[in-house]
Amino acid sequence: MIARSGPGPLRRLVVLRHAKSAWPDGVADHERPLAPRGRRDAPAAGRALAAADCLPDLALCSTAVRARQTWELTAAEWGTPPPVCHDARLYAADVPELLEAIREAPTDAETLLLIGHNPGLEELVLTLAGDSLDDALDDVRTKFPTSAIAILAWHGSGWASLGPGTALLTDMIVPRGKKGDGRKGDGRQG
């Protein structure tokens, strides 16, 4: 059963950790690009979200290069990507900063995609999830690796009412692209 925080439609928060990044010498952390594996995994994330029928109405994305590239490659897998808001607050954000950005989302967005960084994203998922289906919470506690996707569902009239323990973690997916053919495999975990 999905946790109820109040009346309102079913809403989904899709939390996507940026794909694997490179560590080039002399490049500031904010400017680090995706590594080859990240460039394979990000499209796999887009395909996994499409397969899960979990395409967003709006995306909130960190301004870091690796997060922006993850967004671009993920969204390129969909026919018509939703609008995206690149928000500097999401870079190296902690749970209160992430919640502030989420709570500002328009109420007409029923599925919201959040692309950012650890440890903040993992802590956000663990904070918001009052329960989970299968072993999804245990999976997140064990590891929330690059390109991991957590899908949280809850009922609410707007994003401002989302709070600790109010959501159900319905899925945890770790998409992986294949070397030589990034079109195969979505790496579902639960």
Output the pLDDT for position 147. Answer: 97
Weakest mean pLDDT among 18-32, 74-88, 171-185: 171-185
Residue 184 has pLDDT above 60, yes or no: no
**pTM: predicted TM-score of the whole model, two decimal places:** 0.90
Q: What is the pLDDT of residues 26-72, one digit of tens each?
A: 999 999 999 999 999 999 999 999 999 999 999 999 999 999 999 99
Output the pLDDT for position 31. Answer: 97
Domains of the chain by residue range: 12-130
d(C-alpha 112, C-alpha 159), whole Å: 9
User: Which residues have C-beta within 8 Å of that of residue 185, sequence separation ≥ 6?
Assistant: 44, 175, 176, 177, 178
d(C-alpha 69, C-alpha 86), whole Å: 12
SS (H, E, C) 75-114: HCCCCCCCCEEEEHHHCCCCHHHHHHHHHCCCCCCCEEEE
Output the pLDDT for position 7. Answer: 63
Output the pLDDT for position 179. Answer: 78
Q: What is the pLDDT of residues 91-146, one digit of tens each?
A: 999 999 999 999 999 999 999 999 999 999 999 999 999 999 999 999 999 999 99
Residue 85 has pLDDT above 60, yes or no: yes
Output the pLDDT for position 76. Answer: 97
Residue 158 has pLDDT above 70, yes or no: yes
CA atoms within 13 A on the CB side of 20: 12
d(C-alpha 62, C-alpha 87), whole Å: 5
Q: Average pLDDT, whole number, for the chain?
A: 91
Question: Options 3.40.50.1240, 3.40.50.150, 3.30.70.1350, 2.60.40.10; which CATH number does 12-130 get?
Answer: 3.40.50.1240
Provide the b/e sequence for 132-153 (b: ≥16 CB within 10 Å): beeebbebbeeebebbbbbbbb
More confident residue, 119 or 178: 119
